[in-house]
Structure formats: C-alpha cells, structure tokens
Amino acid sequence: MRSLAPLFILTVGLMAAWQAKSAEVAPRPVVEGVAQAIADNYYDAAKGAAVAAQLRAEAAKGTYDRLTDPRDLATTLSERLRPLDHHFNVSWSAEPPPAPRPAPGPSAASAPGPPRVDPIRRANYGIRRVEILNGNLGYIDMRMFAHFEFGQPDAPARKAIEAALQTVANTDAVIIDLRDNGGGSPAMVGYLASAFTPRGADIYNTFKYREGTESEAPKDWHPAPRLETPLYVLISGRTGSAAEALAYTLKNAKRAVIVGEASGGAANPGGPVPVAGGFSIFVSNGSPVSPITKTNWEGDGVQPDVPVPAAKALDAARALALENLLKTATGPAAQDARWALEALRAEEAPPTTKPLADYVGAYGAVEIVQVDGRLAMKRGRRPLTVLLPLGGETFTVAGESGRRVVFERDAKGAVSAFEATGYEGGGSRFRRDAPGA
C-alpha cells in the first residue's frame, strides 16, 4: 500500500539526493526539475503535463529569476502549486543526508557516531495519549498514522494501535482525536476503521494510480470490532491526508460523528521526488475514490457533522457522547454519565457559589481548606482533593466526576457536615468540629 504521507514525513528520512550547501541557486534549472518531476509522476498524466507546461512557461518569462535564495524559491513554488493539489510541497535542504549505518550485528557496536534515533518509535507510532475520561469515555489522541505491513502481527506500529484500542475496550463510547494529525499510512487507516466496522464492509477508498488501482481495505481485519460503540472523530484544518481518509471513511459509512472544523483537504497520496540542487517536491501519484461518494475530499476537506471551533471539539464530543448515553443507560452507568455531563457543563460555565470561607474547617479526620481560590479536602499525608462547585452545596472532585461532596447546613445556616459519595451510591458523612474542639 502506498503512503498518504504527511508533509512532515519529509523530515524523518524520506528525502534524498540533497547536495552541499549553496548560497544561491539558478532558479530556471530548479523549476525545470520540479516540472519534470510532476510530469513524470503525477497520478493524472494529462494534468501533470499541463502543470509542468505552466511552470516552464512562467520560468521562461523570468517569473522566478529573482528567487536565488533556495528557501524563497522553495516557498514560492509550494505556494504556487498547492492550490492545484494540497500535497504539492517543494522543500530544500542545505545539508546532505546522513550516511546509512550498518545493520545490527557484531560490527555495529564499533560503528562511529551516536546511535541512530527512530523518530517514529520516539513518537510512540503517533499515539500521543490514551485515556479513560469521566463518564467512561475512551479517548485516543493520534498525531500520525505510522506504517506497518499486513501479515506481520508483531509490527511495532500495529501493536501500538492494538494496545490503545485494548485500553478503551470497556468504555461506553470512543473519541479519536485527529486534530493535529497530518496523516501517514493507509494501512493504519484500513486497520483502525476495521476496529469499528463490519468485516468486509464496502466502505474503503480505492486509489487510482497510473499503473492501476489499489484498495485501502485492510488485508488483516481487526479481530474484535466494536460495531455498536458510539464513535466520535475530532478534526481541524491541520488534519490531513490519511487522517482525513479515516474521518471521511467513517463519516460516509455513518459509523462516526465528525466534530470540529473542516480538514485540510489533502486527499492524494504520493511521496518526495528529488530535484537537483538540494530540492525535493512531494508529488501525488494516486487519488482515492470512495465507493459511497464516488469522489474524495481534495480541496474541500472532510466536513464535520458537528461544526465547532477545533479548540472546543473535545468538550463538544464529550457532551454529545454523554447526552447520547443517557438516552439508554440505566442504573449506576446512567448516574456516572449524568454526573460527568454535569461536571463538564460546570467547567464550561462555573455556577455562582456561596463564600468558600463558609466551608473551611475541620470535619473529624478531614479538613476542608482553601487553596488558590478553590476548596480542597485534606486528610493526613494524602494528596489534596480539589473540589469544583456544581451549584448549591454540591461539589465534584476535580478529574473524578464519579465522586461528589455535598455539604449540609444547620438551622442557623452554618455549614455543619458534608457527605462524600460515589455514583454507585453509599458514602461517608463527616460532622464539622465544634468551635474550640
């Protein structure tokens, strides 16, 4: 499977044929090289030839002659080409690539220089964070789609995404955050989509290349797809390429609710093509077609089902998930979701509360203190438990909406006790010490 490589992949070892640093370049030969790379490799041969002809005509008129700084030339060509295909990007490097190191073996230990660093591994194969959010919502923050080959169950990238999916296996809904994901491997798109859709579903893009076609459907299907689990995908204008493919596929299959802002609109896969003088251009050598829409998201991006500012997409998705869970949940699960939703809303619009000094004092083994403008419970050497107001005399525990503290007042209106409870019921009551006790 060819890669819907994000532009950042150019910085992690896929660029080649760089030459030594040069203070200035002759723009016309560079433009000719870029034009030829497009003509030779662009997936649409006719369009590639037309774009190349336009560049050559502009170069012949001297359009780029003043751009002798290679950085300026690369930037200008990228801006010129990107409206034609959102993956077009011209880069320049002043330094040649590092020499390849020997493969691991008896002589590897004596190889000169520091050990090689695998940036994909250091980035945990794109999986930044996996968490169980309040209300039993699974959350996976993915910053890129690392590649793996099907038929290799122990491939590190595959094991990483399987571990993430296993962590959220018992949650009541799943949120996949792609707001800062520039793309990567179609293998990850197919495999991750198969974790939430029926085996063999006709939902996957088919890539059209000059040489033929290739499907994005996985060659290995996820063994235990969660077909009924509510799924939410967060996107933004930074979401690109393969990350857009996942959102587009799940949206059109009506399997996920897409939340956020329209994505970047870079649909066509490809890779960098070296050009003389230290330049390289990313050229799309294929184009996806959805079996559902019969087209793709190039230029327009994936459109959200729930449009909200990208910065608020996670909270919006959490609220949607909890509201939907409350439609069917019963018993403790419903209480957990309700408390989580109330806590989320209180974070967005904190209620007016009585003076915090009313609550401060000793309650047997527990002390209520005021820290940085908030109430907190203090018990021995345990870490402070911060309390957030929900309204009235009720507070939730910060970060743990399944725990609450409810204060009581006596006939004179003074705080006299509090009860600490959980969403499953039960709890402990603590009476306030009498003055001077």
| Average pLDDT, integer, range 210-231 | 96
Question: Is 296 within 8 Å of 289 (Cβ atoms)?
Answer: yes
Instruction: Output the pTM of the full model.
Output: 0.87
CA distance 141 to 317: 13
Burial of residue 407 (CB within 10 Å: 0-12, 13-18, 19+) is: buried
Q: What is the rounded distance in angstroms from the CA atom of residue 81 to the CA atom of residue 78?
A: 5
Lookup result for tokens 């923050």: 141
Domains 120-269+285-325 and 356-431 share a fold: no
Q: How confident is the model at residue 21 (pLDDT cuts 50, 70, 90)?
A: very low
- Given a contact cutoff of 8 angstroms between Cβ atoms, the answer to whether 278 and 33 are in contact is no
DSSP-derived 3-state class of residue 210 = coil
**Predicted pLDDT at 136:** 98
**Can you give the residue ranges of every domain in the chain?**
7-92, 120-269+285-325, 356-431
Q: How confident is the model at residue 165 (pLDDT cuts 50, 70, 90)?
A: very high
Distance, in Å, from the CA atom of 52 to the CA atom of 403, rounded to the nearest integer, reads: 64
| pLDDT at residue 2 greater than cutoff 70 | no
What is the rounded distance in angstroms from the CA atom of residue 276 to the CA atom of residue 151? 38
Q: Which CATH architecture group holds 120-269+285-325?
A: Alpha-Beta Complex (3.90)
The length of the chain, given as a count of residues: 437
Q: pLDDT digits over 101-135, tens only?
A: 444 444 444 556 667 789 999 999 999 999 999 99
Q: φ and ψ at 374, to 5 degrees? A: -130, 155
- With contact defined as beta carbons under 8 Å apart, do 405 and 398 qualify? no
Poorest-pLDDT segment among 105-119, 160-174, 248-262: 105-119
Model pLDDT for residues 416-428, shown as the tens digit of each residue: 999 999 999 888 9
**CATH topology (fold) of 356-431:** Lipocalin (2.40.128)
Tell me which amino acid residue 378 is. K
Contact between 149 and 5 under an 8 Å Cβ cutoff? The reply is no
Alpha-helical regions (H) of 272-398: 313-325, 331-348
Handedness of CA 130, 132, 136, 141 (dihedral sign): negative
Burial of 62 per CB tally in 10 Å (0-12, 13-18, 19+): exposed
Angstrom distance (rounded) from CA 171 to CA 326: 14
Q: Which helix (H) or strand (E) holds 51?
A: helix 45-60
Q: Alpha helices of 281-330 — where are they, by DSSP H?
A: 313-325
pLDDT of residue 178: 98
Q: For residues 168 and 285, give the distance between their C-alpha atoms in angstroms, rounded to a whole number.
A: 36
At 243 the three-state DSSP class reads: helix
Q: How confident is the model at residue 11 (pLDDT cuts 50, 70, 90)?
A: very low
> Structure tokens of 413?
């209106």
At residue 425, the pLDDT reads 87
Round to whole Å and give the CA distance between 313 and 413. 41
Nearest-angstrom CA–CA distance, 71 and 330: 61
- Residue 371 bridge partners (DSSP): 374
- Is the separation of the CB atoms in 393 and 375 below 8 Å? no
pLDDT in tens, 275-301: 999 999 999 999 999 999 999 999 999
Where does the pLDDT of residue 353 fall: very low under 50, low under 70, confident under 90, or very high at 90 and above?
A: confident
Q: How far is CA 274 from CA 27, 36, 37, 367, in A?
A: 16, 11, 8, 67
